[in-house]
Amino acid sequence: MQVIKRIKADYQSILRAKIHVFLRKSLWLYLLSMFAIASVLPLPTLSIPVSAIIYFAIFLVVILVPVYHLSTVRLVQSLNFDADVEFDENQIIIRHRNKDLIETKDWQWILQISFTGSAVVLTVRQPRTFLIFLNKNNLTERELHFFNHMCTTRYLK
């Protein structure tokens, strides 16, 4: 079976990937850090957990949101990725729309396939984390089955 999808690195897809990585890997680290700060410097008349939540909210608004926005804008400008990607059981063919280039990858290029409530997430093996989100609403039952099959037969997580 073949699955052909257009994948484009636009602002929404890159920001979604950044948030996905943040929620899976960094959220608890930042929450614990803010709890440590709140235990040393609690806000007056507030408990340590409430202080930690307030510190975390301030950290999100003042630092994380602007940094994620600026880095996403920069990545959109530098990546310029727009391609039709053909997945089959043996290989992955990337046909770039914005340049005259066709790449062929094997399934070792995909580090992990995970399933969220609304998407199939393919983590690509690259120096910089690159995630491909395929919305479940845009996939047929056969396509979902294909990615589930590839996840289990290729020993991907």
Statement to judge: residues 30 and 67 lie in one domain: yes
Structural domain total, the chain: 2
Contact present, 36 and 48 (Cβ < 8 Å): no
Stated pTM of the model = 0.78
Statement to judge: residues 67 and 96 lie in one domain: no
- Residues β-bridged to residue 67: none
Query: Per this entry, what is the length of the chain?
Result: 157
Check residue 25 and give its pLDDT: 84
**Helices H / strands E in the chain, number of each:** 5, 7
CA separation for the pair 45, 37 (Å, rounded): 16
Statement to judge: residues 85 and 140 lie in one domain: yes
CA separation for the pair 112, 66 (Å, rounded): 29
pLDDT in tens, the chain (157 residues): 889 999 998 899 899 888 988 988 889 999 999 999 999 999 999 999 999 999 999 999 999 999 999 999 998 888 888 899 999 988 999 999 988 899 999 888 898 898 988 889 999 888 777 889 999 998 999 999 999 888 887 655 4
Q: Domain boundary residue among 78, 103, 121?
A: 78
Domain that holds residue 140: 3-8+81-153
Residues 6+ apart with CB under 8 A from 86: 2, 3, 4, 92, 93, 94, 95
- Whichever domain contains 136, its CATH number is 2.30.29
3-class DSSP state of 39: helix
Q: What is the largest CA-CA distance in the chain?
A: 63
Statement to judge: residues 57 and 87 lie in one domain: no
Q: What angle do CA 116, 119, 121 make, to 5 degrees?
A: 80
Statement to judge: residues 89 and 51 lie in one domain: no
Contact present, 113 and 122 (Cβ < 8 Å): yes
Check residue 155 and give its pLDDT: 53
Cα-based distances in Å from 124 to 47, 61, 110, 121: 43, 29, 5, 10
